[in-house]
Homo-oligomer: A and B are copies of this chain.
Amino acid sequence: MATFATNCFKISFSSKLLLTCNGSRHFSSSTALAARMGFIGLGNMGGHMARNLIKKGHQLVVYDVSADNVKAIKEAGAEVAGSPAEVASRVTSLVSMLPESSHVQQVYTGPKGIFSAVQKGSLLMDCSTIDPYVSRTMATIAKQHGAEFVDAPVSGGVNAARDAVLTFMVGGPDSAYNAASLYLSCMGKNVVHCGPVGNGQAAKICNNMLLGISMIGTSETMNLGIKLGLDPKLLAKILNMSSGRCWSSEVYNPCPGVLEGVPSSNDYKGGFGTALMTKDLGLAQNAATAAKSPTPLGSLAHQIYRTMTNHGFGGKDFSSAFKFLQDQNEQKK
């Protein structure tokens, strides 16, 4: 899902670096940047990201638990390692892209994990969306091994990964952010520095919590307006010229027929799955509980997506909240 709708943000790293990366496919193999680097986690997102690094001239050493995933990227030119430890032993820069906190913990701290073989001075870039506390723990352990860990979760879905237009939200010290930007900008168009380690996750979590709230809010509002007799397109128009407007009402409206080319007009296929939104809001809840920060609407939104997932909406786009809140009895008529 394209969670970043505009491109107007001034990125804080220099345009020279961006040019270096985007402007040239004939990379000198003598630069540090073009040296061999690692990539762990070659799923729907990671596969595309790894491919884009290869396209930009990087020689990859990769690892994934799935033989199929490994095979595909091997054919694209990557070298294959037998464990995260082997990857870490052969490179000094690596990217990881994993589903959940537990996978990150295992890949980094497990028996044949990265930390069992990491080289001093290595740069470890984790693009997974996980608990910021886990990111911070990984960074602390990395420091103990003389390495640098940054969290760099992405915004933008599978298509954005394929087209190298992801946005990265990076947490880490300035020097690590600058170094990481060289690699991350090969896979995305925006690389935003959010502060120290964990802040990339924090920014991602915050954005998705507000998104999750706004989407349900828009769904309730569209449903209510229709029940009160308003035409859905007119209602969307009024909201979007008014103070109720939000990304969900403007560019991703959950009511079928209001906008073209969005999941709501395609039976909620594609897009950002409700189960994934549920997972992200779960991370937001864990973070809010630990931070002692009240999030009443964020909590309730989490519960609603959880209930939706339990009712079979897990694989549908999260804008199907509109449908979930509708009168199912009426729909059958």
Contact = CB atoms under 8 A, between A and B. Distances in A.
Interface of A: 1-6, 8-9, 132, 155, 167, 169, 190, 192, 194-196, 198-199, 202-203, 205-211, 213-214, 216-218, 220-221, 223-225, 227-231, 234-235, 237-239, 241-249, 252, 282, 284-289, 291-304, 306-307, 309-312, 314, 324-329
The copy count of this chain in the complex is 4
Contact of A210 (B237, B246, B285): B246
B300 A297 contact: yes
- Which of A194, A234, A304, A310 has most B Cβ within 10 Å? A310
Contacts of A206: 221, 224-225, 228, 230, 235, 238-239, 244
B289 A296 contact: no
Contacts of A284: 224
A302 B324 CA distance: 16
Nearest to A307: B294
Contacts of A298: 217, 220-221, 224
A130 to B, nearest CB: 14
Chain A interface, DSSP helix/strand/loop, else mixed: helix
Given A207-B242, A243-B247, A299-B300, A292 B8 contact: no
Contacts of A248: 243
Nearest to A206: B225
B327 A155 contact: no
Contacts of A227: 288, 291-293
Contacts of A301: 297
Given A298-B220, A312-B328, A225 B241 contact: no
Contacts of A155: 242-243
B245 A195 contact: no
Contact of A293 (B4, B198, B216, B224): B224
B247 A207 contact: no
B325 A294 contact: yes
Contacts of A295: 220-221, 223-224, 303
20 contacts: A132-B228, A167-B242, A195-B229, A195-B234, A203-B230, A203-B238, A205-B224, A206-B225, A206-B238, A209-B217, A213-B214, A213-B220, A213-B297, A216-B297, A224-B291, A246-B246, A294-B303, A296-B303, A297-B300, A310-B328
A213 B220 CA distance: 10
Contacts of A202: 225, 228-230
Given A155-B243, A246-B247, A296 B228 contact: no
A1 B242 CA distance: 11
Contact of A245 (B198, B213, B246, B307): B246
Given A229-B196, A296-B304, A210 B244 contact: yes
A113 B239 CA distance: 35
